[in-house]
Amino acid sequence: MKFKQIAGGLLDRRYFLKKSLVFSVAASIPAYLTAQTPLELERTQWMSEPGLGFSNYGQPSPFEKKTIRWTMANSHTPGNGVSWTPLQDLEGIITPSGLHFERHHNGVPQIDPAAHRLTIHGLVTHPLEFSIENLLQYPKISRICFIECGGNSNAGWHKNPIQTPVGNFHGMVSCSEWTGIPLKLLLNEAQLQPQAKWLIAEGGDASLMNVSLPIEKAINDCFVALYQNGERIRPENGYPLRLIVPGWEGVVNVKWLQRLHIASQPSMSRNETAKYTELLPSGKAQQFSFFMSAKSIITNPSFGHQLNRFGLYQISGLAWSGRGKITRVEVSADQGQTWLDAELQDPILSMCFTRFRIPLEWHGQAIVLSSRATDETGYVQPTRTELIAQRGRHGYFHYNAIVNWALSAQGQISHVYN
Amino acid sequence: MSIIKYGLIVFLSWMNPSHAGDALSPMLGNPLSEATIQQRNFTVFQNGQGLPVGQGGVTAGKKIYTSRCLSCHGFEGSGNSAEELAGALHRLTDNPPDKTIGTYWPYATTLFDFIRRAMPMDSPGSLSTQEIYDVTAYLLFLNKIIDHNQTIDNKSLANIKMPNRNGFINHYKNNN
């Protein structure tokens, strides 16, 4: 069977699958039949002594200490900052809870769930409060979805391409299985009044962060999550309760959720006016941008990785869209001149990370690797040039351009613009 | 839709995220009194709804700013570790633009709201209503939006026309 190989060394995505069906026919005599004296059985240190005992809560291997969130905070106010998911060190689509990115405005509150209430009021017939104990008794749903900060990848607007691991550049996105109560269920209990058009969600941290959402999104697919990846949500992700707004910018997924104010208008809070709005070249700014548009990144190999042999590699990356399922990811090895479809790994879920893979035959050729995502609405991830032509360079939020990694003849990777 | 059989409630529609709101509810929400709602309701709207009765002035605001805000926000609203609040040197169409209260924020009510919620970061909630109005007035003065002898109150704040009031495009409305 012949495999199409295109410019730069990319191979048909079915290469690995088909290759495994080819059996070796060259016969050789096994060593054990010819050896003069019996060889000693090998036994490592770990095969020679009992292992450690049981633990109440498992931890990563001590050999994986480098797989951590990179943290960045204001030195005067250490609770105001970000930690980034190390995407370059992870595989699959689930982000371990302890590596989920963080954006806090004034630290992580250690909320006692017994003292926490969710209040629903405003344009409702029955203003209500819910204790966590009561919420735990409601029917629940689970959904695997990404959360991406609206400010993720903002270094892409810089004049020169930033040279940093992919997680430190694009790691304000993570993907978890969230479990909680459909918001519609709680809103139905409170009974929305006809003038209800917006839902203002507020967190119970020291910044009392609040944002406004159109009520139709709240009714359609939002939920209040109690669990993340099977366990109760971690404090830094909103314990005991977080709003999940699938596909929309991270800031609206309000952590430490304590209040839902139903209104006929948005509140025009700081985080929907002064922040999380995108200034355009005209001097006007986009407000209520919400949707995180389709995006993809090759995570392996990426900046900081070193190719140290010739031969076959598997390129692996992530794609996601806030408007639905990823339908296609193409990879180029020649600065976007020719593209080849990557294999999309199951499951392919709406508003969720999709893992893509494609083989690369590398023999020291200097190439530029890029990935381009398409979602089910037909939207195609733009090049940086296209994005800047539309939005200028001072929008800061919602950067989703194609990312290019230049692979040198020495096997080193740097970030380049197209 | 459901039928009850042997005490089990059998769902006829498959539970998925889009149908999940149709599930039955145990209805465990507790009613809230108007007084409790008032105690919890921090929301301030751009039309002034939600602002507490009170007023403030520039001179008093400068004193509060100097003691509580300046260490992070800098002399006259710029230059230190925190957000640039005033003193824009560039317009929004310049390269780079300066996004201060005066050049960017569309509503003055947002200032009162955000300060009451979150400032100062080392002790949120420690400013009185009077002090929040005072420091709001000082920040509006620094941005040349009010005069040094002008006061603001819960009625007038929503009527202040911010320079960038019409600077925003509702992207959600235009794309859905």
Q: Domain holding A334: CATH number? A: 2.60.40.650
Residue A128 has what DSSP assignment? E
Q: Higher model confidence: residue A3 or residue A198?
A: A198
Which residues in chain A have their CB less than 8 angstroms from residue B121's CB?
77, 79-80, 106, 206-207
Phi first, then psi, for residue A133 (nearest 5°) are: -55, -40
Contacts for A337 with CB less than 8 Å, ≥ 6 apart:
A7
With vertex at residue A316, the alpha carbon angle to CA A22 and CA A92, rounded to the nearest 5 degrees, is 100
For the record, the structure tokens of A168 come out as 């430190």
Which pLDDT band holds residue B166 (cuts at 50, 70, 90)? very high
Place of tokens 């019409």: B166
pLDDT band at A76 (very low <50, low <70, confident <90, very high): confident
Average pLDDT estimate for B145-150:
97
Is residue A208 one of the residues assigned to a domain?
yes
Task: Note whether B123 contacts A: Cβ–Cβ < 8 A.
Answer: no
* pLDDT at residue B4 is higher than 60: no
Would you say residue A149 has pLDDT above 90?
Answer: yes
Percent of chain A clearing pLDDT 70 (strictly above): 94
Check B29 against A206: CB less than 8 A apart. no
Tokens coding B63: 């004193």
Contact assessment for residue A187 and residue A120, using Cβ atoms and an 8 Å cutoff: yes
Quick one: A236 and A300 in the same domain?
Answer: no
Q: Sort strands B30-31 and A128-131 into parallel, antiparallel or unpaired.
A: antiparallel
**Domain for residue A214, yes or no?**
yes
Q: How confident is the model at residue A14 (pLDDT cuts 50, 70, 90)?
A: confident
Are residue A309 and residue A271 in the same domain, yes or no?
A: no
**Dist CA B162 CA B28 (whole Å):** 44
Q: What is the pLDDT of residues A299-338, one digit of tens each?
A: 999 999 999 999 999 999 999 999 999 999 999 999 999 9
* Chain A neighbors of B96, CB-CB under 8 A: 394
Name the residue among A105, A220, A265 with its Cβ closest to that of B118: A105
* Chain A contact present for B54, CB below 8 A: no
Question: What is the pairing mode between strands B2-5 and A70-73?
Answer: unpaired
Q: In the 8-state DSSP scheme, what is residue A412?
A: B
Q: Give the span between the Cα atoms of A34 and A39, in whole angstroms.
A: 11
In this prediction, residue A296 carries a pLDDT of: 98
Q: Which token pair is A242?
A: 């977080």
Query: Which range marks the domain in which residue A146 is found?
Result: 102-286
**Residues A88, A302 contacting (CB under 8 angstroms):** yes
Question: Which chain B positions have a beta carbon within 8 Å of A394's beta carbon?
Answer: 95-97
Q: What is the pLDDT of residues B53-108, one digit of tens each?
A: 999 999 999 999 999 999 999 999 998 889 899 999 999 999 999 999 999 999 99
Confidence of residue A17 (pLDDT cuts 50, 70, 90): low
CB A112 within 8 A of CB A132: no
The answer to the question of residue A81 being in a domain is no
Other beta carbons within 10 Å of A302? 23
In a domain, A266, yes or no: yes
Distance in angstroms (rounded) separating the CA atoms of residues B82 and A76: 9
Q: Are B86 and B58 in contact (CB under 8 A)?
A: no
Verify that A361 and A281 share a domain, yes or no: no
Q: Which residues contact A40 (CB under 8 A, 6 or more apart)?
A: none
pLDDT digits 0-9 by tens, A255-278: 999 999 999 999 999 999 999 999
Tell me which chain A residues have a C-beta less than 8 angstroms from the C-beta of B118: 105-106, 206-209
Confidence category of residue B15, pLDDT binned at 50, 70, 90: very low
How far is A248 from A147, CA to CA, in rounded Å? 8
pLDDT digits (tens, 9 = 90+) for B36-53: 999 999 999 999 999 999
Helix (H) or strand (E) holding A402: none
pLDDT at residue A75, as a whole number: 84
Taking CB atoms and an 8 Å limit, are B95 and A394 in contact across chains? yes
Domains, in order of start, for chain B: 47-166 (1.10.760.10)
Residues 3-32 of A with CB under 8 A from B: none
Which residues does chain A have within 8 Å of residue B175's beta carbon, measured at their own beta carbons? 291
Collect all residues of chain A within an 8 Å Cβ-Cβ radius of residue B91: 283
- Rounded Cα distance between A341 and A329, Å, is 6
pTM above 0.80, yes or no: yes
Contact B111, B101 (CB under 8 A): yes
Looking at the structure, tell me whether residues A108 and A226 fall in a common domain.
yes
pLDDT digits (tens, 9 = 90+) for A174-218: 999 999 999 999 999 999 999 999 999 999 999 999 999 999 999
Nearest-CB residue to A190 (from B29, B72, B93): B29
CATH for A265: 3.90.420.10
Q: What are the tokens at B153? A: 């109150």
Q: Which two tokens stand for residue B84?
A: 């640039």
A320 and A282 belong to one structural domain: no
Say if residue B5's pLDDT is above 60: no
Are residues A352 and A330 located together in one domain of the fold?
Answer: yes
The verdict on A201 and A322 lying in the same domain is no
By the 8 A CB rule, do A226 and A132 touch? yes
Helices and strands, number each (H, E), in chain A = 7, 24
Q: Domain for residue A75, yes or no? A: no
Order the strands of the A210-214 sheet from edge to edge. A210-214, A198-203, A257-263, A117-122, A128-131, B30-31
- Strands A128-131, A117-122: parallel, antiparallel or unpaired by DSSP? antiparallel
Nearest neighbour of B92 by CB, restricted to A189, A273, A279? A279
Residues A260 and A324 in one domain: no
Candidates B71, B81, B110; nearest CB to A75: B81
Q: Do B167 and A284 touch (CB under 8 A)?
A: yes
Of B31, B37, B110, the CB nearest to A269: B110
| Alpha carbon distance B113, A205 (integer Å) | 15
> Which among A251, A286, A321 is the end of a domain?
A286
> Are A277 and A362 members of one domain?
no
Confidence bin at A31 (pLDDT 50/70/90)? low
Looking at the predicted structure, is the pLDDT value of residue B13 above 90?
Answer: no
CB B163 within 8 A of CB B145: yes
- What are the pLDDT digits (tens) for A215-226? 999 999 999 999
C-alpha span between B126 and B138 (Å, rounded): 18
Q: Using alpha carbons only, what angle is made at residue B140 by residues B137 and B146, rounded to the nearest 5 degrees? A: 90
Taking the C-alpha atoms of residue A223 and residue A226, their distance in angstroms, rounded to an integer, is 10
Residue A245 · residue A252 · CB < 8 Å: yes
Distance CA A344, CA B69 (A): 51
Residue A129 at interface with chain B, using a CB cutoff of 8 Å: yes
- Whether the CB of B14 is below 8 Å from some CB of chain A: the reply is no
**Would you say residue A22 has pLDDT above 60?**
no
Best residue in B117, B136, B164, B165 to probe A by mutation, most A CBs within 10 Å? B117
* Per-residue model confidence (pLDDT) at position B11: 46
Q: How far is A221 from B17, CA to CA, in rounded Å?
A: 6
| Cβ contacts of A226 on chain B, cutoff 8 Å | none
Q: Contact A288/B44, CB-based, under 8 Å?
A: no
pLDDT at B158 exceeding the cut of 50: yes
- Assess whether A329 and A242 both reside in one domain: no
Pairwise pLDDT comparison (A176 vs A76), residue with the higher score:
A176
Cβ contacts of A282 on chain B, cutoff 8 Å:
93
Residue range B110-139, pLDDT digits in tens: 999 999 999 999 999 999 999 999 999 999
Closest approach of chain A CAs to the CA of B126, in angstroms? 12
**DSSP secondary structure code for residue A306 in this structure:** B
A207 touches chain B (CB under 8 A): yes
Provide, as residue numbers in chain B, all residues whose Cβ is less than 8 Å from the Cβ of A351: none
From first CA to last CA, the distance across chain B in angstroms is 30
Q: Are B117 and A285 inside 8 Å of each other by CB?
A: no
Total tally of structural domains belonging to chain A: 2
Which residues have a Cβ under 8 Å from the Cβ of B115 and sit 6 or more positions away? B127, B132, B135, B136
**Cβ atoms of residues A72 and A84 within 8 Å:** yes
Could A126 and B122 be called an inter-chain contact, meaning their C-beta atoms sit closer than 8 Å?
no
**Are B162 and B55 spatial neighbours (Cβ–Cβ below 8 Å)?**
no
B10 touches chain A (CB under 8 A): no
Domain boundary among A262, A286, A310: A286
- A281/A307 same-domain check: no
- What confidence category does residue A27 fall into, taking pLDDT thresholds of 50, 70 and 90? low
Determine the distance in angstroms separating the CA of B59 from the nearest CA of chain A, rounded to an integer.
25
Domain-located, residue A396? yes
Closest by Cα among A337, A325, A386, A332 to A360: A332
Q: Which of A242, A265, A286 is the last residue of a domain?
A: A286
Confidence of residue B12 (pLDDT cuts 50, 70, 90): very low
- For tokens 């941290």, the residue is A205
Interchain CB contact of B141 with A (< 8 Å):
no
Give a yes or no: residue A187 inside a domain.
yes
| A64 inside domain | no
Q: Are residue A268 and residue A191 in the same domain, yes or no?
A: yes
pLDDT of residue B176: 80
Contact B48, B136 (CB under 8 A): no
CA distance A127 to chain B (A): 6
Locate the chain B residue with the closest alpha carbon to A106: B121
Q: Which single residue is written with the structure tokens 């230049």? A: A406
